[in-house]
Amino acid sequence: MTQALDEIKIGGLGASRKRVEDDRFIRGKGNYTDDITLPGMLHMEILRSPLAHARIKSIDASKAWDIPGVHLVLTGEMMATRNLAWMPTLSYDTQAVLATDKVRFQGQEVACVIADDPYIAKDACEAIDVDYEPLPVIVNPKQAVADGAPVIRDDKENQPDNVVYTWEVGDAAGTDRAFEQADVISRLQLHYPRSHPSPIECCGSIADFNRATSKLTVYMTTQAPHIIRAAVALVAELPEHMIRIISPDIGGGFGNKVPVYPGYVCSILASILLERPVKWIEDKTGNLISTGFARDIYLDGEMALRSDGKILGVRMHCDADHGAFFSDAQPSKFKIGLLHSAFAAYDIPVAHLQARGTYTNKAPGGVAYRCSFRVTEAMFFQERMVQAAAGDLGMDQAAFRRMNFVADEDFPHRTPLGFLTDSGQYAKCLDVGLKAVGYEDFRKRQEEARAKGRLLGLGISTMTEPLGAGNSREYDILGIKMFDSAELKVHMTGKAIVRTGARTQGQGHETTWAQIVAHELGIPAEDIVVEEGDTDTAPFGMGTYASRSTPVAGAAVAMVSRKIRAKARKLAAHLLEVSEEDIEWELGRFYVRSAPDRGVTIQECAMAAYSNMPDGMEPGLENTAYYDPPNLTWPFAVYIATVEVDPATGVWDVLSVVAVDDCGVRINPMIVEGQIMGGLTEAYAMANMQFITFDAEGNCVGSNYMDYLLPTAWETPGFELHSEVVTPCPHHPIGAKGIGECAAVGGPAAFVNAVIDALSGTGVRNIDMPLLPDRVWEALTHHRDVSGAPPVRSDD
């Protein structure tokens, strides 16, 4: 008669356990960076450039210094005397902290003021006089490489032009041959517009240098505290052990809170100089105009097709607009991130991808916003090309995808661009999605509606993505390998604390990591507290972004729990006075195989670790695990959207959204669904209304919430989520895969494909996102594709 605990009851795997972190947030007792006050704290504000490209002739801060309550005014010149005007980026480039010779994008940091109070600091910023000499402005890659284009990065040696890198992967010659064999070649050119993660909470830091102890503590909105500690050690030339980075509660990250921003560096220097805590909290305009944006990349893609629909080869050329500095956080070997994961779910024999990155007079970045290192771009390009190809062939969208999917029995599968996928049931996911949306029936209704002049559309998008960067053979950031860690301490009464090197920003780690421990050890999840974010106490990890936490840190939690269980087994044998070989485990309990009623609970083992150890055993029940993943994990999803387009206005409404997500084993189904819905909303936002663009002078359009449109509860559609398909990850200790970004990766194409489908018959093959009403109207009225690339016309 088993005495195993009920896994769901104790909050193990599969339990939709209510969240631990909610208790403080619903009471308004969260601890976000701006909520923290330190004794003697001063406030910092940043002065930003109004021009996109200009030489700085002079800066006069004398009036600012004169304002009562101002303690320090920092300029690039002052930073330069301390070698801090420029800092290294996470992509082996350099970035200005405060501008010295030129400003290179509108909103760039030019000076900062530290004062008693943020209002005084803002007053003082306005009193600083900067004399600019405007220079010609570049707002897209075409301008960047045109003859006679000004060199933006004339601060760099060996930088004669505006090209950051070129990169390629795949088989160029083989792909050319495939194209020679093609019956049909389908070509698509599009722009994935600049977007911004825009979590509601902006970035900020409180730097506190303690002269008495020589220790620097920085509270910071960061998704990767250990990376920041290393970066600060490098930039500020302080010893690593005297730096403590604390990431308190974070109000949303989405990749925006990974890079090192000039504001952080200035607040640190100010604290060191003034020997007082210095708080810097940016405003929304600062966040949107200067921090890590996402996307802004051009695709020129071609697909070689056989007339029966088989894809023979794919060619992609991608032009990435990086802004003024190459500052992405991304694996160093892959200049364009994991864009070459495109088409991983399709059985394509050969492919070739070429990429180029350019500098422009815009904020720096490119890798952010739930992108999994540019997989958002990869999957969007993929599904837009697939849509166009099926249309060019006159084939049904679902049938075309189905016939080209990698079959279930063909794993492991090596993709033509160098990835190894290991598991999936792609056709089954598609079947579930099509059934849920009522595919056949919809096509009938679509035809009937068209006869009456109503435009209904259905869009399919599929995605698979490499999540859990990453194995040490291929993945590193600035040379540091991308492993992660978990430390588990079981106390004498069987309660426990687990700390990891990840950093939750709403994904629910305080709830879910405890669930993994409960699964492995039978300790109820409510008896386990989870902590992350303080580099003095958390084991080393590379932080939370790119959906890597469940795959890597979660795996570490499972592995350290198993180390604890292995030791507990020895203790059990000692307590039960049998040899270890006679011991069996069931959830929460060890027992004697030949006498199952004789057993000890995990709690009794814990007590024994402190009070009754066998001879020769180290006391205590605590351990740490560092996990170097053998491979990435590959969730798969199908997203289907149906829409109706109003032909008179170009406005489109969403009728339904169906999501079928296969992310392997789900630790907490409720939390997984929350992640999917969040991602689908961001997908809808990008498809419908949200983007940042620039006019010909480099003025940023979309630097505040009046211009940068986020959907509210009113516009956002409802979502129907499906979880029937579960393909466990073959190499993850609990069979889980990443999920946090999947819907943002795969979602946008579902909406765009739906609108394009609604317009079928007009010959329109592409409208750039966002599909604003005027763009849709232009397309369907004039029967032409519509681009959205900058510069936006000033008469728009």
Partner 1 sequence: MTVVYEDLGDEAEGAVPVRRIRFSINGRKMVAEVEPRLLLSHLIRRGVGLTGTHMGCDTTNCGACTVQVDGKPVKSCTMLAVQADGHEITTVEGLAMEGAGGPGGVLHPLQEGFKEEHGLQCGFCTPGMMMAAKALLDENPDPTEEDVRWALSGNLCRCTGYQNIVKSVLWAAAKLRSESAG
355 contacts 269 by C-beta, under 8 angstroms = no
Q: In whole angstroms, how close is the CB of 690 to partner 1 at the nearest point?
A: 11
Q: What angle do CA 272, 276, 277 make, to 5 degrees?
A: 95
Q: In whole angstroms, how close is the CB of 50 to partner 1 at the nearest point?
A: 16
Segment (H or E) for 556: helix 555-576
Residue number with CB closer to partner 1 (25 or 540): 25
417 binds partner 1 (CB under 8 A): no
712 binds partner 1 (CB under 8 A): yes
> Which residues does 791 contact at the CB level (< 8 Å), separation at least 6?
139, 140, 693, 694, 695, 696
The active-site residue, picked from 95, 143, 223, 330, is 223
> What number of other Cβ atoms are within 10 A of residue 354's Cβ?
17
27 binds partner 1 (CB under 8 A): yes
| Binding span for partner 1 by CB under 8 A among 156-164, 277-285, 531-539, 784-792 | 277-285
22 binds partner 1 (CB under 8 A): yes
Residue number with CB closer to partner 1 (427 or 670): 670
Q: For 225, how many CA atoms within 13 A lie in the half-sphere containing its CB?
A: 29
435-443 contacts at long range (C-beta below 8 A, 24 or more positions apart): 436/640, 436/658, 436/660, 436/720, 436/722, 437/640, 437/642, 437/656, 437/658, 439/398, 442/642
521 contacts 578 by C-beta, under 8 angstroms = no
Within residues 187-206, the interface with partner 1 by CB under 8 A covers 197-202
The packing angle between helices 602-611 and 555-576, to 10°, is 70
Q: In whole angstroms, how close is the CB of 717 to partner 1 at the nearest point?
A: 9
Question: Contact with partner 1 (CB under 8 A): which of 284, 495, 569, 598?
Answer: 284
292 binds partner 1 (CB under 8 A): no
Residue number with CB closer to partner 1 (30 or 174): 30
| Binding span for partner 1 by CB under 8 A among 167-175, 389-397, 470-478, 501-509 | 501-509
296 binds partner 1 (CB under 8 A): no
Q: What angle do CA 116, 121, 123 make, to 5 degrees?
A: 130
DSSP one-letter string for 614-670: PTT---S-EEEEEE--SS-B--EEEEEEEEEE-TTT--EEEEEEEEEEE-BS-S-HH
3-state secondary structure at position 166: strand
Residue number with CB closer to partner 1 (29 or 783): 29
Q: What is the 3-state secondary structure (H, E, C) of 668-686?
A: CHHHHHHHHHHHHHHHHHH
Report the alpha-carbon distance of residue 269 to residue 275 in Å, rounded: 10
Report the alpha-carbon distance of residue 241 to residue 499 in Å, rounded: 19
Question: Contact with partner 1 (CB under 8 A): which of 145, 449, 655, 677?
Answer: 677
217 contacts 44 by C-beta, under 8 angstroms = no
Whether a cis peptide bond, with omega within 30° of 0, leads into 412 is yes
Closest listed residue to residue 339, CA positions, set 269, 417, 265:
417
Q: Which residue has the tokens 């069996």?
A: 584
DSSP state of 578: S
Q: In whole angstroms, how close is the CB of 202 to partner 1 at the nearest point?
A: 7
275 binds partner 1 (CB under 8 A): no
Tell me how many residues contact partner 1 (CB under 8 A).
58
**Is 223 one of the annotated active-site residues of the chain?**
yes
> What number of other Cβ atoms are within 10 A of residue 584's Cβ?
14
Question: Contact with partner 1 (CB under 8 A): which of 670, 696, 701, 726?
Answer: 670
128 contacts 45 by C-beta, under 8 angstroms = no
Report the alpha-carbon distance of residue 517 to residue 7 in Å, rounded: 11
Q: In whole angstroms, how close is the CB of 34 to partner 1 at the nearest point?
A: 7
In angstroms, what CA-CA distances link 330 with 43, 474, 738?
32, 12, 17
Residue number with CB closer to partner 1 (39 or 453): 39
705 binds partner 1 (CB under 8 A): yes
Question: Contact with partner 1 (CB under 8 A): which of 357, 468, 539, 678?
Answer: 678
The active-site residue, picked from 741, 742, 765, 775, is 741
**Is 526 one of the annotated active-site residues of the chain?**
no
Within residues 541-600, the interface with partner 1 by CB under 8 A covers none
Residue number with CB closer to partner 1 (350 or 657): 657
Report the alpha-carbon distance of residue 463 to residue 640 in Å, rounded: 12
710 binds partner 1 (CB under 8 A): yes
Residue number with CB closer to partner 1 (15 or 417): 15
19 binds partner 1 (CB under 8 A): yes
| Binding span for partner 1 by CB under 8 A among 298-306, 320-328, 667-675, 725-733 | 667-675
Q: In whole angstroms, how close is the CB of 245 to partner 1 at the nearest point?
A: 19
Question: Contact with partner 1 (CB under 8 A): which of 105, 132, 192, 254?
Answer: 254
Q: In whole angstroms, how close is the CB of 24 to partner 1 at the nearest point?
A: 8
Question: Contact with partner 1 (CB under 8 A): which of 547, 681, 688, 699?
Answer: 681
305 binds partner 1 (CB under 8 A): no
522 binds partner 1 (CB under 8 A): no
| Binding span for partner 1 by CB under 8 A among 247-255, 411-419, 477-485, 601-609 | 247-255
| Binding span for partner 1 by CB under 8 A among 322-330, 405-413, 705-713, 727-735 | 705-713
39 binds partner 1 (CB under 8 A): no
111 binds partner 1 (CB under 8 A): no
680 binds partner 1 (CB under 8 A): yes
Q: Which residues bind partner 1 (CB under 8 A)?
A: 18-19, 21-30, 32, 34-35, 68-69, 116, 119, 197-202, 249-254, 283-285, 505-508, 670-671, 673-674, 677-682, 704-706, 710, 712-714, 716, 718-719
- Catalytic residue set: 223, 370-371, 741
